[in-house]
Chain A
């Protein structure tokens, strides 16, 4: 099967800090792929390279065989890459419905001028079509009780769900989730895990997820990659990764020969 996403030898530097070093990964269509690693390992940086917020210093990102390394984030959304943010990025004063509707923005034909001629330009029927799609997502994520509430007034767990809803509204083929379960209680986590599995299985979206809760990751992921200090230290089936000595070392904070090369030792020590 052709890979939907290939990360080829990507490195990212901020001045002297190496956020990512020669990371190479590939994700199959329909996969639920998790990226784990200790704090500061470069997980979000990697996700940002895929979604286009960061441009890798070296290497390339291929989406469905197409090199998207130099494409703008908006273009990538059009290509079918959606994402959520670790620190919520909702429009606080807009309703849940409108927040999700924002996800449809790139699919709307009408603009500021034509939209004002509501009936003439098809803006009405366009809105109806998209509203229906948004309602289906609301139904899927059980957001009905808060449909019209201002996003800023919602509890944290629900806001995360609204973020997911907005990312889904893009109708992505590849959805990037940055810690969807962070800060949630057990029940909210279980719900969210259910939604992630469902959107993977029912909607057929390929999921790349960063998550700290190892229980969830091991339960629902098809494959797992482990980053530590910007390097890929393991990749494979959840149980393989869990048994990997490098991963254990990374999580226990032990020194690992895999991470030590003369060129980088200084960086490692500085960060540690």
Chain B
């Protein structure tokens, strides 16, 4: 345990107390920066504190106090974090709402929390609230930071932050020590934050988090990933999300690392480079899009630079395989690349929320980013597992922080069961929902609803939501989506459907990625006519076989794919096979391709197909072909396929 941090959080056990402590001890030092009108403007701890004080007293003047809920909605800005700490100072609870939330979602959360006041950044957010009219009866005050476009409204609930500050100062004039007394009265165990759970399927629940739990969990996190006042952080994750609460508020207020707010979401990567932060957490999708931007930039550059890049990258990847770094590659490519991306000073980097493709993972590791995977839930104060610096495995989410206990409930024969976690700083229950609390939180253990297992190295592997798991006839549970995603990390695979529920073994229906496989075919002088023709070629089967074998190597024995076919057409949302967000519709697939699925499991090595495809322009094509079934147990690919008609 870090004695310094322990001493600090023993004395200052709420966010307002931590802020006051730093404002007194480190007043003139930089706490926050915000890019405004093209220039980074610094906020000292003193100014941060004064701002929070004015806000808090303003809230008090509005009659907001213990037990009230203050909502916040908008981009990440100093006013957001200041508004949150100010609300905590008057013992109110804060409820962050995602800036892109729709009106109904905003209404749901405001009503659920019965929020009395809301900090709404600008006209865009205020519009949502005003449009809701009398659907949100609890709301008494809408406090906005940006006055642009607000003149046309005369709703009595509207108030600018300036007006709030004025009210606060007027109150302070009567009692100079008032704010100090308020801060002193804040308690670590009071619920401070109502944090929305992910709620992908239903309306979100609100997890009640106490300031003490947040701060103590941050301290445990800091042991796994230390930070200090010299660290720079760019706040780009949504502030209502637990992880940004951890970084932008908890960790920053403990360690005094500087929090930087970008000008606009669109200028993020640019501002990011100007700051060159020392720590970053991105969602897998963002990591992947950064990697893709690099690749497309390299395609547009001069042949010499491209050659240097390719040479450097292959050196770097080779060195990575042997657990080393290539110094030559660093000099010719990676140093410049890190600078371009704003990663020059990065000391720790993380991804979390979903799986990141191993190629992307390797790419960033090769260029010298210490990228690690995190895993956690809102109820458990965000991340509680991480890779240790010297033990990074793409397939796992690492090991628990110090003081975190994880067990697998009701494991099947392969050790797959529900991930159940306990640590001393978890949430205090769901807001106004004791039934859900009792269901998820039993004897202090949080039942996450996620399925996972521990691998030989003791790392936790998270597969999927338990409700989305399927089981084979032998009772081996597996996650179709987890395996499908692994397959889709291959550039040659566009879509994949894993079969095997109630069957003896797993099989895969794979759709090749036509744009890439056709280029591969051209390069390898393989002639073909259509998608169906290409997908039935033995060479392509051989190519995909290798990809499937690679995926199999990372799966436990019971979850390995035994057979696969390459489908003669791409799965399409227009045919109802995929949802609009490109998720596989299993019921439609099993109905439509029932014949093929039965044939795969009947042990035949080829399936005769006679079907009609509808194209978007209304034309139809009859397909008569024989679909080979690749059997991964046998050494050679199956028989020669027949031609497509």
A residues whose Cβ falls under 8 Å from a Cβ of B: 132, 135-136, 138-140, 142, 144-145, 147, 198, 201-202
B51 to chain A, nearest CB (A): 21
- Check if B149 sits within 8 Å of A136, measured CB to CB: no
Given that A135-B37, A136-B37 are known contacts, is A144 also in contact with B151, CB under 8 Å in the complex? no
Interface residue B266 (Cβ < 8 Å from any Cβ of A): yes
How distant is the Cα of A201 from the Cα of B152 in the complex, in angstroms?
Answer: 9
A100 to chain B, nearest CB (A): 12
How distant is the Cα of A145 from the Cα of B149 in the complex, in angstroms?
Answer: 21
- Check if A144 sits within 8 Å of B148, measured CB to CB: no
- Check if B152 sits within 8 Å of A144, measured CB to CB: no
- Check if A144 sits within 8 Å of B149, measured CB to CB: no
Partner of A198, one of B149, B263, B266: B149
- Check if A142 sits within 8 Å of B264, measured CB to CB: yes
How distant is the Cα of A136 from the Cα of B151 in the complex, in angstroms?
Answer: 18
How distant is the Cα of A212 from the Cα of B582 in the complex, in angstroms?
Answer: 39
How distant is the Cα of A82 from the Cα of B324 in the complex, in angstroms?
Answer: 62
Majority secondary structure, A binding face? helix
B213 to chain A, nearest CB (A): 37
- Check if B270 sits within 8 Å of A145, measured CB to CB: yes
B152: A residues at CB distance < 8 A: 201
How distant is the Cα of A139 from the Cα of B146 in the complex, in angstroms?
Answer: 12
Closest 3 CB pairs between A and B?
A: A135-B37, A145-B266, A145-B267
How distant is the Cα of A142 from the Cα of B148 in the complex, in angstroms?
Answer: 13
Given that A198-B148, A201-B151, A201-B152 are known contacts, is A139 also in contact with B267, CB under 8 Å in the complex? no
Interface residue B38 (Cβ < 8 Å from any Cβ of A): yes
A136: B residues at CB distance < 8 A: 37
B264: A residues at CB distance < 8 A: 142, 144-145
- Check if A202 sits within 8 Å of B149, measured CB to CB: yes
Majority secondary structure, B binding face? loop
How distant is the Cα of A132 from the Cα of B36 in the complex, in angstroms?
Answer: 10
A142: B residues at CB distance < 8 A: 264
Q: Size band of the B side of the interface?
A: 10 to 19
Partner of B37, one of A132, A145, A198, A202: A132
B263: A residues at CB distance < 8 A: 144
Residue in chain A with minimal CB distance to B146: A139
B142 to chain A, nearest CB (A): 20
How distant is the Cα of A147 from the Cα of B37 in the complex, in angstroms?
Answer: 10
How distant is the Cα of A144 from the Cα of B151 in the complex, in angstroms?
Answer: 24
The proximity string for B residues 30-47 relative to A, scoring 1 for CB distances below 8 Å and 0 otherwise, is: 000000011100000000
How distant is the Cα of A136 from the Cα of B39 in the complex, in angstroms?
Answer: 12
A198: B residues at CB distance < 8 A: 148-149
B435 to chain A, nearest CB (A): 44
How distant is the Cα of A57 from the Cα of B487 in the complex, in angstroms?
Answer: 75
Q: Which of A132, A145, A147, A201 has the most CB of B within 10 A?
A: A145
User: What number of A-B contacts does a CB cutoff of 8 Å give?
Assistant: 27
B126 to chain A, nearest CB (A): 15
Residue in chain A with minimal CB distance to B262: A144
Given that A135-B37, A138-B38, A147-B38 are known contacts, is A202 also in contact with B148, CB under 8 Å in the complex? yes
How distant is the Cα of A220 from the Cα of B37 in the complex, in angstroms?
Answer: 29
A144: B residues at CB distance < 8 A: 38, 263-264, 266-267
The residues in B between 537 and 557 inclusive whose CB is less than 8 angstroms from any CB of A are: none
Residue in chain B with minimal CB distance to A136: B37
B152 to chain A, nearest CB (A): 7
A202: B residues at CB distance < 8 A: 148-149, 151
A132: B residues at CB distance < 8 A: 37
How distant is the Cα of A201 from the Cα of B153 in the complex, in angstroms?
Answer: 13
Residue in chain B with minimal CB distance to A138: B38
The proximity string for B residues 15-26 relative to A, scoring 1 for CB distances below 8 Å and 0 otherwise, is: 000000000000
How distant is the Cα of A140 from the Cα of B263 in the complex, in angstroms?
Answer: 13
How distant is the Cα of A241 from the Cα of B169 in the complex, in angstroms?
Answer: 54
A138: B residues at CB distance < 8 A: 37-38
Beyond A135-B37, A136-B37, A144-B38, 7 additional pairs, beta carbon < 8 A: A132-B37, A135-B38, A144-B264, A145-B266, A147-B38, A198-B149, A202-B149
A234 to chain B, nearest CB (A): 29
How distant is the Cα of A140 from the Cα of B39 in the complex, in angstroms?
Answer: 16
How distant is the Cα of A142 from the Cα of B264 in the complex, in angstroms?
Answer: 9
Residue in chain A with minimal CB distance to B150: A202
Residue in chain A with minimal CB distance to B35: A144
A147: B residues at CB distance < 8 A: 38
B132 to chain A, nearest CB (A): 21
B270: A residues at CB distance < 8 A: 145
How distant is the Cα of A134 from the Cα of B535 in the complex, in angstroms?
Answer: 57
B228 to chain A, nearest CB (A): 31
B38: A residues at CB distance < 8 A: 135, 138, 144, 147
How distant is the Cα of A142 from the Cα of B149 in the complex, in angstroms?
Answer: 14
Residue in chain B with minimal CB distance to A145: B266
- Check if B37 sits within 8 Å of A139, measured CB to CB: yes
B416 to chain A, nearest CB (A): 45
How distant is the Cα of A201 from the Cα of B37 in the complex, in angstroms?
Answer: 22
How distant is the Cα of A142 from the Cα of B152 in the complex, in angstroms?
Answer: 21
B148: A residues at CB distance < 8 A: 140, 198, 202
26 contacts between A and B (CB under 8 A): A132-B37, A135-B37, A135-B38, A136-B37, A138-B37, A138-B38, A139-B37, A140-B148, A142-B264, A144-B38, A144-B263, A144-B264, A144-B266, A144-B267, A145-B264, A145-B266, A145-B267, A145-B270, A147-B38, A198-B148, A198-B149, A201-B151, A201-B152, A202-B148, A202-B149, A202-B151
A11 to chain B, nearest CB (A): 40
Q: Which of B38, B39, B263, B264 has the most CB of A within 10 A?
A: B38
A228 to chain B, nearest CB (A): 35
How distant is the Cα of A139 from the Cα of B122 in the complex, in angstroms?
Answer: 13
Residue in chain A with minimal CB distance to B270: A145
How distant is the Cα of A244 from the Cα of B38 in the complex, in angstroms?
Answer: 49
